[in-house]
């Protein structure tokens, strides 16, 4: 039986990992520059956490979770996203007593049972941040800037920032009623999901993937036109901040997160190139979330970025990173005695942080020379009886063919001067 990777998963091969490593390093650097620290959360959690923290009317919870019962009879779910786990950890570890804002970033895998497409997988990766304790809007602008600066650092172009405000439970109450009245006469023309949403969560009908392009949805009343004074002020102040920084954005009234604990600022970074899987990053403010998961009332804001989508976009723009090679010298053995010397010498170099290689295949002298010629390693050092007797080694520069004589005891010093910075 041929065993293949499960549907919706993919290997990230050694030829691809350099770009992944660069992205992770740049993301961490940007976060650190803003005062964020890394959090690592469990891969699986109590299923209840996602029902409460993601919301049991969402597609993610209703259709996409990997839920199973463990041997102890607990209902466990592989995390479909990071926010719920970070919020649980914030509460469980008493982080509300730390000086606010408490700012954390993460680099995680996430799992969703979805129909596999380009940029849509069942196991995927997210970079994200969460910031607790500040009402904004300055922090909203900072959170958005972390993405902007990270994209700049990666050289990512043609990305559009879309922002919206979805108000607070107060301004949404009246609006929801208005939306229900608006959709009710047309409900029979809408999809089954929307028919369910009408009474429970009409806001979600605005970003329905099935009905979203219909005029009935496009012409629906817009929450952005019905914000209360405080929410309006918050949104205006956010725009002023973004204008001051010089970050371009468009206002997109269709971005919604139809759950009560999502409030005010919502945003997406969308590629101008790709079609439906073009949303690289989505986030927003969730002033009611910590409380709804059982913690003290705490405002918060965050986002999650799909790393596969980010890299697809970068690759489409021709980004490539050379594999990281740290091997400086290849040792060729002319005799068995030389092999023992090489074993010890390689260890001494490596323990000092200098990369080296030697034959591991039992190749004869000529075959070792041939390998060294092709291996793309900057230096070669042939060890024979003369070298063992004199302790003087010849280091050949493989680019220009020149040779330098170095005492065996001076090898580390020689390569330290040639190392990568």
Residues that bind ligand ATP (CB under 6 A): 81, 112, 114, 119-121, 124, 126, 277, 279-282, 304, 306, 308-309
Tallying the residues shown for the chain, one arrives at 421
Shortest approach of ligand ATP to residue 290 CB, angstroms?
Answer: 19
Q: What is the spatial distance between Cα 164 and Cα 264, in angstroms, rounded to a whole number?
A: 8
Nearer to ligand ATP, 100 or 191 (CB): 191
Nearer to ligand ATP, 66 or 182 (CB): 66
Shortest approach of ligand ATP to residue 124 CB, angstroms?
Answer: 3
Nearer to ligand ATP, 204 or 309 (CB): 309
Shortest approach of ligand ATP to residue 280 CB, angstroms?
Answer: 5
Q: What is the spatial distance between Cα 323 and Cα 394, in angstroms, rounded to a whole number?
A: 28
Asked if 81 contacts 60 with a C-beta cutoff of 8 angstroms, the reply is yes
Nearer to ligand ATP, 95 or 270 (CB): 270
| Residue of closest CB approach to ligand ATP | 306
Q: Which two tokens stand for residue 204?
A: 């979600």
Shortest approach of ligand ATP to residue 63 CB, angstroms?
Answer: 11
Shortest approach of ligand ATP to residue 351 CB, angstroms?
Answer: 41
DSSP 135: -
Shortest approach of ligand ATP to residue 279 CB, angstroms?
Answer: 4
**CA within 13 Å, CB half, 7:** 6
Nearer to ligand ATP, 127 or 183 (CB): 127
Q: Enumerate residues 6+ apart whose C-beta is below 8 A from 363.
A: 371
Shortest approach of ligand ATP to residue 82 CB, angstroms?
Answer: 9
Q: How many helices (H) and strands (E) does the chain have?
A: 15, 16
Nearer to ligand ATP, 126 or 298 (CB): 126
Q: What is the spatial distance between Cα 18 and Cα 33, in angstroms, rounded to a whole number?
A: 23
Nearer to ligand ATP, 59 or 348 (CB): 59
Nearer to ligand ATP, 146 or 328 (CB): 146
Q: Which two tokens stand for residue 331?
A: 């040792």
- The partner residues of 48 in beta bridges, in order of sequence, read none
Asked if 328 contacts 356 with a C-beta cutoff of 8 angstroms, the reply is yes
Shortest approach of ligand ATP to residue 188 CB, angstroms?
Answer: 26
- The partner residues of 67 in beta bridges, in order of sequence, read 77
Task: Measure CA of the first residue to CA of the last residue in the chain; give whole Å.
Answer: 48
Q: Detail the DSSP E strand segments found in 5-158.
A: 37-38, 44-46, 66-69, 75-78, 102-111, 123-132
Nearer to ligand ATP, 207 or 357 (CB): 207
- The partner residues of 177 in beta bridges, in order of sequence, read none
Asked if 103 contacts 131 with a C-beta cutoff of 8 angstroms, the reply is yes
Q: Which residue blocks in 34-115 are alpha helix, DSSP H?
A: 47-50, 59-63, 83-92
Nearer to ligand ATP, 202 or 258 (CB): 258
Q: Which two tokens stand for residue 197?
A: 């949403």
Shortest approach of ligand ATP to residue 114 CB, angstroms?
Answer: 5
Strand order in the sheet with 66-69: 44-46, 75-78, 66-69
Shortest approach of ligand ATP to residue 31 CB, angstroms?
Answer: 17
The number of beta carbons lying within 10 Å of the beta carbon of residue 357 is: 16
**CA proximity to 110, closest of 278, 304, 282:** 304
């Amino acid at each position: 039986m041929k065993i293949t990777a499960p549907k919706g998963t993919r290997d990230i091969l050694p030829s691809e990992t350099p770009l992944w490593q660069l992205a992770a390093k740049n993301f961490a650097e940007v976060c650190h520059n803003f005062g964020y620290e890394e959090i690592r959360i469990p891969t699986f959690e109590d299923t209840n956490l996602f029902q409460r923290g993601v919301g049991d009317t969402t597609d993610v919870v209703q259709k996409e979770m990997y839920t199973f019962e463990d041997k102890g009879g607990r209902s466990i779910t592989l995390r479909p996203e990071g926010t719920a786990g970070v919020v649980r950890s914030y509460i469980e570890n008493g982080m509300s007593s730390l000086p606010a804002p408490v700012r954390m970033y993460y680099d995680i895998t996430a799992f969703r049972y979805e129909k596999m497409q380009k940029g849509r997988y069942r196991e995927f990766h997210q970079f994200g941040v969460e910031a607790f304790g500040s009402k904004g809007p300055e922090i909203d602008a900072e959170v958005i800037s972390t993405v902007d600066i990270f994209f700049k650092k990666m050289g990512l172009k043609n990305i559009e920032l879309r922002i919206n405000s979805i108000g607070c439970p107060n301004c949404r109450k009246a609006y929801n009623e208005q939306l229900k009245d608006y959709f009710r006469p047309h409900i029979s023309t809408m999809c089954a999901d929307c028919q369910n949403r009408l009474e429970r969560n009409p806001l979600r009908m605005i970003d329905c993937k099935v009905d979203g392009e219909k005029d009935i949805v496009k012409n629906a009343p817009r929450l952005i036109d019905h914000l209360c004074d405080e929410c309006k002020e918050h949104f205006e102040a956010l725009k002023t901040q973004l204008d001051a920084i010089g970050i371009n954005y468009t206002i997109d009234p269709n971005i919604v997160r139809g759950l009560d604990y999502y409030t005010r600022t919502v945003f997406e970074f969308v590629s101008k190139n790709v079609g439906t899987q073009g949303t690289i990053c989505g986030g927003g403010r969730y002033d009611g979330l910590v409380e709804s998961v059982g913690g003290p009332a705490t405002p918060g804001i965050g986002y999650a970025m799909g790393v596969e989508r980010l890299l697809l976009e970068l690759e489409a723009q021709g980004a490539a990173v050379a594999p990281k090679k740290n091997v400086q010298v290849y040792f060729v053995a002319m005799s068995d005695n030389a092999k023992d010397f090489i074993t010890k010498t390689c260890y001494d170099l490596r323990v000092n942080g200098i990369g080296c290689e030697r034959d591991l295949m039992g190749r004869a002298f000529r075959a070792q020379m041939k390998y060294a010629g092709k291996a793309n390693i900057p230096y070669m050092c042939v060890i024979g009886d003369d070298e063992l007797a004199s302790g003087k080694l010849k280091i050949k520069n493989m680019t220009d063919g020149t040779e330098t004589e170095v005492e065996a005891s001076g090898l580390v010093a020689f390569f330290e001067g040639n190392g990568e910075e």
